[in-house]
Each structure stands twice: as C-alpha cells, then as structure tokens.
Structure 1
Amino acid sequence: MSAQDDWQREVFRELGGAVETAGTAGTAGTAEAAAGPVPQPQPVQPHSVQPQPVHQQPPQPPRLPPPTPVSVPVVAPELAEARGRARHGDSIPQRAGRAMRRLLLSSTAQDTAVATHTAQVIQQPITTGRQIAVTSIRGGAGKSTVAALLSLTYAHYRSDPVLTVEADPALGPLPLRLGAAEVRWSCADLARIIDPSMQITDITGYLVRLSSGGWLLPGSQGAVGAQLDVDIYRIVMTSLRRYFGTTIVDCETLPAELARTALTTTQARVLVTPATVEGLAATRSVLDWVGGVHRSLLPTTVVALTHTSPDMAVDERRAAEHLGVGGARVVSLPYDRHLAAGGQIQSALLGQATREAAAQLAAEAMDRAVSRGRR
C-alpha cells in the first residue's frame, strides 16, 4: 500500500469517516482499480476540526473512618471517694414489718398472681423493635431515673436485646444511674458510622455494655452545652430499631424540639411529673397538647407520678382522675431512699414498693407500645 493511501486514511479518520480494516485491504485495492483514479479529498482547514477539551474529574480522596474518641470517665477519679454508702430503699422497720405481714396474712398468693401477670405483660412477644420515649415537663422530676428503672426492668424480664439511648446529652445523669464507668461513642459518632450491612455484633462494639445485661448509647461525653441534632436522632433511631427488641429513650424536657419529635415517632411514651399540684397542672396541659397532635398518642401514654421526697401528700386517686384523660394511664412511683441518694441504681437495694411500681410502669408502657404496633 502506498504512502498516499495511508494519508487518506488519516484524513477520513479525522473527518469521522469509516476506517478500513487490514483484512479488507485487497478488496479495497481491486475496487479502486475498477473505478479509476481515486478523487483527491479537499484540503482540510486547520480550524475545521477542533479537538474537544476533556474534562476529567479530580480523584476523590478515600473515605476515612471517623477518629476514635477517647473514653471519658462518667465520674472523675477524685470524686470516687466522695460516694457514700448505698442505702436500702426500705428502712429496717419497713422490711421487718413486711416479713411479718407475709407470715401472718394470706395475701402471698394474690401478690404472686399480680407479679406473674405483670411479668407476662412485660415479656409479651413483639414482631419489630419497640421504642419508648421518656420525657418530663421540667428538670428534677426524675426523668433519667425513670428511664434507668425501665431499662433495668426490661433487661431483667426480657430475653431480647435492650438498648437505652440518651437523647438528653447536656450533663445528663443516665450513664451514672445505669452504672457505666466511662463513655466513648455518642449518638452523633454512631450516626456517621452505622451502615445497613452491619450486624448486631458490629453495632454493640460502639455501645456501653451494662452490668444489667443491656446496652447504652450516650448522647455525648458530658460536655457543657452539648446538643443532639434532630436529624442525627432520626438516623440513629431508625437504624437501630431492627437490632433491639426494646429501646428506651431518655429525651430532653418539653417543649424542646427533640422531645416533641420523640413523642410523635416512638410507639409509647412515659411522661414524668412530680407529685405536686403544680406538676399535675402542667402535666394536664401537656396531655391536652399531646391529644391535639394526634388522637392515637394519649392511649399510648403513661404518666409516672414521682415522689422525690417523703413529704409529698398528693391524693393519688384524684391525680389519676385528672391526668387519665383520653386513655392515658397514671402509675405512682413512691419515694425511695436508694433512688433519692443518687448514683448507680442497684436493683437489690430498691424498696419493695419501688420494684413493684417499676414493673407496673414497664408493663403499662410495653403493653401500649405493642398494642400500637398491632393497629
């Protein structure tokens, strides 16, 4: 093949014409001879074919995992010695009197039947994870204490995994109440890591394992002014629901945005209020607001009436009538010396009435969470 033929091929290639293959070179030469001289192509002007600029995307840097936070102790080491001796919730005369009543009265069978029924309600089977929000109208009502009691009760009675989420990150006492020695990963950290392909063994590596058998996800490391974004909360709660049978959420106090979100997105809610006239009045206003948000929220709401001192003398029957609007249930949590002292909650040191009230509260909340899931 002549040098002229090679030049023609290059021209046709630049103009977008078909390029002949080496296998048809002989046939093409015969056709050219039969047709006569090949007409010469017109000279190509340099500006007629302009090379198109190629826009290359800059290489994306590899996605690096978030840095591992440093563990922070829940209680500073210098304060460890300041802890006093844990007290039993019932005094010695109360425990002695209860033992005598069990010997002299025939109410043991009835008490056993009530306890058995309560345990059955707590242990009822569930098909999907149930999430229960705990909030209050103001600080100091015992919100984190109630959340911890629910967590301990569910971990004791249920065989499926129990998770407690701290959605009140600003110096909340929940990790201390549950006996956590230190905290590391927070809700915001887990939201950046969690992936649908993770197994529960992967997830629990970022949680605090509790001696009660459950797990804790802290809201922060106790920093002053720490906040938890609503979007982060939604990501965490939606992603973790398929891993844990029961999730307790210790929310901010109302009317914070995160608390309002938790009230409307969980299957049941516990509203904690002090056993005072002021607390009852404010809680009734909140219940009226909850009923106005959606009529299905009140039947799945339980009010925990907490006695934070032994001198509270609210009529519990009248309080239940006033707060039991729209199907809400009221459960009274009695004063307990062990709870009032603060620190880690030890189930063995709780008063008998406190243990029974905590079990009743857990049963009421679980029953409402499961009943809502059936609707």
Structure 2
Amino acid sequence: MNTEQVGQAAPVSGDPWVRRAGRAVLRPFRPVDEMARAIELGAGLQRSTSTGRRIAVDDLGTGADAAVVTALMARALAHFRHDRVLAVDAIGREPSLADRLGAAGPGDLGRADAAVFETVCEGLGEVTERLWTARTDPADTRAYTLALLPVSRFFGVTLVAGEHGGGFLETVARGAHARVRVVRATRDAVLRVGRELDVMAAQGREQEAGRTVVVVLDQERGEDRGLDVARTARIIAESGAEVVALPHDRHLAQGTAVLPRRIAESTHRLVQAVAVAALDRAIDGGPSTGSGR
C-alpha cells in the first residue's frame, strides 16, 4: 500500500516523539538483561526446521486484526531467518495481508506453479527476497492440498491468516504445526478463548492446546478497562497455551502498510516473542524446554 497516495493519512509512529528521542539517547546504555533478551529472541527466530512448518492464524471470531499480527510475525521471521517465509491471506477483507506487508502485489496461491521456486515466484507477491505473500479463497478447502502443500515446501515457515470457521483455514489448521489465536482485549473475547481450550481438554486434545499461542490484542486503546490482562494470561496459560498481550500501537491502528521503523519498540519485542513461541511449538509439538526461553 502506498501511504503517500492522496486521501491517506501519513503514517504515525507507535511510540510518541518524546519516547523515541529518549530511547535513541539511552540506546548505548541499555541494560545487559535487555540486550540478552533481544539476542535470545533473535536466536529463537533462527531455529532450523527439517521440513517446512505451517502456522495457522485466526481471530477466533472476535474481530481482532489477525492480518496485522500475521504481517508482523512474517516480517520478524523473514528478518532473522536464512530461509524463506510465506504469508497466505485467506481472510478476504480489507486491509489485506498484502496491504499490511506493503507487497508489490497480492499474489494468487492458485497461480503459483510449484515445479521449481522460479515458477512459484511468478504467482506470489514479493515483499523482500525472503518474504512472499499470496491470497486464496477463504472457503476453498481444496486449495490446501492442490496449492498450499506443494508451494509451502519451498519455504521454511508458512503463515496462514484465515477466517475463523472458514473452510480453507480450518483445513489448514488440522494439519498445522502450531496455531495462533488473535483475540481482542475484552472479557468476552478471552472468555471465548477459555471455552475453546476447555473443549480441547474435554475432548482429550491437550496437545492441541500446547501448540496454541494466544495473542490478546489491544486493538482499540482501552477497549475494555475491566479486563485484567495479567490474571487472564495466567488462567489461559494453565491449559498449556502461551499467552502474549500486545498493547495498543498507534501505527498498527492506522490500518495501512506496517512500516517496521514506525512500530513501537515494545511491539517489536512482543511480536518477536509471539513468533518464537509459535515456532517453538511448530518445531517441538508443544512448549519448548530446550530453547532457553
């Protein structure tokens, strides 16, 4: 998305000017533990995979912006990894994943010829040399076996952002190595997460809960001031799922292309934590005990 087009507001920064200035001044004096955490996250994002890992992302029907979280995760993974990352848009509403990524084009998963990587590229939208995107019909269940599986073998990590209950997303989720549920920071939304995890436990699907990362997104600042995020995170974590609270970010709330330099510093760090948690689960089949996290 060209943010300089007429009628579009100039991109704002997630952090106010005073905080950005102060951070620049203090950067050489950052605490050792903060630097160590940044190195740890970077190492976690670089974990090698013997085969491509698929991660499904959806909003659990809460109206949260799953596309922007997918875009952030994709950028974080592509920045640190040495293989390629594919981000697939099966949401079907605006702003699209391609818009969020600022891709040259949206790509079309069905047009990607999986003979060799050069022919795959012709059907995809390029973001960077290591980050590609494509869209697909949210209801097309056949696209999973006919398009996604052949194409995803060329990528170290494939992220699929889809509609909760959509045919394509649910088909992908059944074979996904990890799942990210992005929910709004409201009591109704987290109750929905709790019910979903309770169903998993009742049906003997505890391993599925262990492969789940829940992102509590403060999409509209202070949307539910009665929500105790810390307590909610502790309760959800008892199921085995990882929980990351993502505070409101003015830049993300604009709904335009995600510009890394405009995102709040805390957003950078927390999104990396989400990506590492999802990757750990995709590789290990549950919470990692060997990555030092």
Query: TM-score scaled to structure 2, two decimals?
Result: 0.88
Mapped to 2, the partners of 1:148 and 1:270 lie a distance apart of: 13
- Report the Cα offset of residue 241 of structure 1: 2.9
Find out whether 1:176 has 2:93 as its counterpart.
Answer: no
Match of 1:286 in 2: 196
Partners in 2 of 1:172 and 1:340 — Cα distance?
A: 11
> 1:215 corresponds to which letter in structure 2?
W
Percent of paired sites with the same residue: 28
SS of corresponding position for 1:344: coil
One of 323, 333, 338 as aligned partner of 2:251: 338
Q: Write the deviation string for residues 173-232 of structure 1: whole angstroms up to 9, x where unpaired.
A: 21110102433x523334xx54xxx1112211211111474111122xxxxxx6541111
Change (3 A) 1:172 1:309: closer
Q: Which runs of 5+ in 1 are unaligned?
A: 1-73, 220-225
Per the TM alignment, residue 325 of structure 1 is displaced from its structure 2 partner at its CA by 3.7
Match in the other structure for 1:210: 127
* Alignment partner of 1:167 out of 90, 103, 107: 90
Q: Aligned partners of 1:295, 1:354: CA distance in 2, in Å?
A: 29
Deviations along 1:80-125, whole A, 9 cap, x unmatched?
311111111100122244456657xx75211000111111111011
Aligned mates of 1:117, 1:182 — CA distance in 2: 34
Instruction: Please state if 1:85 is matched with 2:10.
Output: yes
How far 1:260 moved relative to its partner?
2.5
Q: What is the rounded CA distance, in whole Å, between the counterparts of 1:212 and 1:128 in structure 2?
A: 20
The runs of 5 or more residues in structure 2 that have no matched partner are 289-293
Q: Is the 8 A contact 1:165 1:248 kept in 2?
A: yes
Residue number in structure 2 paired with 1:128: 51
Give the Cα separation in 2 of the matches to 1:170 and 1:310. Answer: 22
Q: Does 1:324 align with 2:249?
A: no
Equivalenced residue count is 284
- Which has the higher Rg, Structure 1 or Structure 2? 1
Q: Which residue of 2 aligns with 1:186?
A: 108
Would the alpha carbon gap of residues 120 and 227 (structure 1) be closer, same or farther in structure 2, given more than 3 Å must change? closer
1:270 match:
180
In the alignment, the residues of structure 2 paired with residue 85 and residue 208 of structure 1 have an alpha-carbon distance, to the nearest angstrom, of: 24
Larger RCO, structure (CA 8 Å, separation 6 or more): 2
* TM-score of the two chains, using structure 1 as the length reference: 0.70
1:125–1:181 CA distance, 2 compared to 1 (3 A): closer
Q: CA deviation at 1:342?
A: 1.3
Check conservation: 1:287, 1:325, Cα contact below 8 A. Answer: no
Runs of 4+ aligned structure 1 residues displaced above 6 Å come to none
1:141-170 CA-to-partner distances (Å, cap 9, x unmatched) read: 111110111111111110101111112235
Question: Alignment partner for residue 72 of structure 2, among 149, 157, 172?
Answer: 149
